[in-house]
Amino acid sequence: MDEQPINFVVFSGTDDKLQALAVMTAGAAALGKRVNIFLQYWGLDAFSKAKIGADHGLAPEAGAEGRAKVDALAAAGQASWAETLRQAKDLGEVDIQACSLSMDVLALEESDLDPLVDGVEGVTAFYLNAGDGQIVFI
């Protein structure tokens, strides 16, 4: 493993993709890798105070059968993606930034965001922080 961060651009806002993000973030943090998360569009929307605890739906291909399986796991006490991300931030270096252009699209102010979000930045700052590390679009 090199010392470059792994950088997630989070566009999608369904609970299953956000869970995949949380698991990959926690895994990287456990390996001592720095993680940068850059929130756009519906990914950003899901991190607003008003919506972070809401049901964000699943990918369309989940169907009723997939929905039932995900619900069963949640009922059995699986941590939500937001909880997993909070734990990953305690464990390692995880920085979560909102995309400034997407803040405009969604008419959000910084005070509307959940405390999981560390700040707001533009795409140029995202690239500079990403350095030569992987960029993964979710």
Structural contact between residues 21 and 138, judged by C-beta atoms closer than 8 angstroms: yes
List 64, 90, 107, 109, residue binding its own copies (CB under 8 A):
107
Please give the structure tokens belonging to residue 106: 């969604």
Can residue 50 be called a binding residue for its own copies (CB under 8 A)? no
The CA-atom distances, in angstroms, between 135 and each of 37, 50, 111, 119 are 10, 28, 27, 19
Please select the residue that binds its own copies; options are 34, 36, 37, 45, rule is CB under 8 A.
45
Interface region with its own copies, contact rule CB under 8 A, candidates 22-30, 88-96, 111-119: 22-30
Give the separation between CA 17 and CA 132, rounded to whole angstroms: 24
Window 1-20: contact mask with its own copies (x via CB under 8 A): xx---x--x-xxxx-xx--x
Residue span binding its own copies (CB under 8 A) among the ranges 60-68, 89-97, 111-119: 60-68
Give, as ranges, the residues between 66 and 105 that touch its own copies (CB under 8 A).
66, 69-70, 73, 99, 101, 104-105
Q: Which two tokens stand for residue 8?
A: 């997630």
CB of 121 to its own copies, least distance (A): 11
Q: Can residue 44 be called a binding residue for its own copies (CB under 8 A)?
A: no
Residue 134 sits in the site that holds its own copies (CB under 8 A)? yes
Tell me the sheet residues that pair with 7: 36, 135
Q: Are 120 and 97 in contact (CB under 8 A)?
A: yes
Asked if 47 and 117 touch (Cβ cutoff 8 Å), the reply is yes
